[in-house]
Structure 1
Amino acid sequence: MTSYINASHAVRWEGGMGKEHMHTWAVICEIHVNNDRMVRFDAIEEELKEVSANVSGKFLNTVPPFDRINPTLENLTTYFFQVITDILRKSNAVLTRLEIGESPTRFYCITLR
């Protein structure tokens, strides 16, 4: 499943914070079903839309948990991996890979091994 989120962020550095800038974040999920039952992808997509709505159109630095942790590509991917894993668990599915990109050439990936 692939979705997109428009949101801005500014990376925090030791000496301060970078300039706020916008991205269209690509979110690519690979999902494995734990059994032979049919998975309601429409239900999963609706729950994922709710997660996206929490950050869509916002300045990530002001949205929990990124008001406390640096809103880097790596931290965003780690956060979404945890949240999506919890959502899919209810549907007897497993997130096996999550890839988030902030540009066509810059992606970060977490793979379940």
Structure 2
Amino acid sequence: MTKHHSYKIKSYINASHAVRWASGVGQKHTHTWEIVCELHTVDKMVAFFDIEKHLHEALDELSGKFLNDLPEFATVNPTVENVTEYLFDKIDRTLRENGAQLMRIEVSDSPIRAYCIDVTDRD
């Protein structure tokens, strides 16, 4: 049996977006986005303050913003799926630079649904 140790950190940001459809752009609206990150660390114990600091550096770029105006979403539709992909890449890169790896991310723009990305193998 192999044990896998992980930490789960939950964060919230407020950001607005307007989804682009074939027929045009939807109405601008704001969400309180819930971001749940599960991360694997090299050591069994980490300083949560340091990990949370790096996590929030990535999230702060979106907090309080109209996502459609950001360069990352100029041509990419700011749907929950695409926001999750963007956050996974950004957060995983930041965590890897600091001794951790993102194993799972869940991003919710509603209390009743979330989009998730899981890593099935560890580097």
For Structure 1 versus Structure 2, the TM-score category normalised by the shorter chain is over 0.9
Aligned sequence identity (%): 50
Give the greater-gyration-radius structure (CA). Answer: 2
| Aligned pairs (5 A) from 1:5-24 | 5-24=13-32
Q: CA RMSD in A?
A: 1.1
Partner of 2:36: 28
**TM-score normalised to structure 1 length:** 0.93
Equivalent position of 1:43 in the other structure: 50
Please name the residue that 2:97 is paired with: 90
Aligned structure 1 segments of 4 or more residues deviating by more than 4 angstroms: none
TM-score, normalised to structure 2's length? 0.86
- In the alignment, does 2:102 pair up with 1:111? no
* Counterpart-to-counterpart distance in 1, 2:24 and 2:103: 36
Aligned match for 2:109, one of 79, 102, 105: 102
Pairs aligned (count):
112
The aligned runs of 1:32-71 (5 Å cut-off) are 32-36=40-44, 38-71=45-78
Higher relative contact order (CA 8 A, sep 6+): 1
Provide Cα deviations, 1:49-80, integer angstroms capped at 9, x if missing partner: 22222111111000120122100000000000
Q: Which runs of 5+ in 2 are unaligned?
A: 1-8
